[in-house]
Amino acid sequence: MAEDKINAKCKLVIIGGSAGSLNALMQILPELSVLNSFALVIVLHRRGTDDMTLEELIKIKTEVPVKIIEDKEPLLPGFLYVAPSNYHLLFEKNETISLDTSEKVNYSRPSIDVSFESAAEIYGDSLVGILLSGSNSDGTEGLKMIQKAGGIIIVQDPESADMPFMPNNAIVHTTPDYILNTDEILKFIISINS
């Protein structure tokens, strides 16, 4: 199984989502408590205003400690990070996070493609990319890059997604390693956490 292949080296799990993805996350996150060897980064399309509602909501729903991102924050295993509104989130070689206010990509900032591509570059085959529900085509290009760099890519089963467009688009244009419903995504994350 691919899971055995990666469980020793996965350093980062990055999840992207848009409309409807919060629902999916709310089924996954409460079941996670400790992340042993990897960091979890969540990039969601969110309203432009600088509020912390999403971070607060996620904090309430999971036992995994949530770090509020500031520029050049070190990315540490065991923690959950949420991309802040109005910035693209990028990864540096020295395993810190950089933020960027450049133009929106796919009408979005943060853009999932931007973070996925950057993560692929730094984390290569120690990366798992997961794309959830949404009604935008963001994420597909990024998944391609993750796969090209040797990472594992997972797409939420469109049947189980509130908004199937985004996962469908990814399935049409990439070859996901797995197409999973939220329950299976959770099991996958737990399996690489052992």
Bin 60: left if φ > 0, else alpha if -120 < ψ < 50, else beta: alpha
Kindly state the tokens that stand for 192: 């690489």
- Amino acid, single-letter form, for residue 140: T
Segment interacting with another protein, rule: CB under 8 A, options 15-23, 87-95, 131-139, 154-162 = 87-95
Instruction: Provide the sign of the torsion angle of the four alpha carbons 87, 113, 10, 170, taken in this order.
Output: positive
Any catalytic annotation for residue 45? yes
Assess 87 for contact with another protein (CB under 8 A): yes
CA distance 170 to 179: 10
Shortest CB 113 distance to another protein, Å: 11
Q: Which of 33, 36, 53, 102 binds another protein (CB under 8 A)?
A: 102
**Which string of x and - marks every residue 118-147 that binds another protein (by CB under 8 A)?**
x--xx-------------------------
By beta-carbon proximity to another protein, the closer residue of 4 and 103 is 103
Distinct helix (H) and strand (E) counts, the chain: 7, 9
By beta-carbon proximity to another protein, the closer residue of 92 and 183 is 92
Q: What does DSSP assign to residue 125?
A: G
Q: Which of 43, 90, 163, 186 binds another protein (CB under 8 A)?
A: 90
By beta-carbon proximity to another protein, the closer residue of 103 and 159 is 103
Helices (H), the chain: 2-7, 21-28, 53-61, 112-123, 140-148, 165-173, 182-192
By beta-carbon proximity to another protein, the closer residue of 38 and 87 is 87
Q: Most distant CA pair in the chain: distance in Å? A: 43
Q: Which of 4, 8, 50, 159 binds another protein (CB under 8 A)?
A: 50
Assess 189 for contact with another protein (CB under 8 A): no
Which residues form the catalytic set? Answer: 18, 45, 138
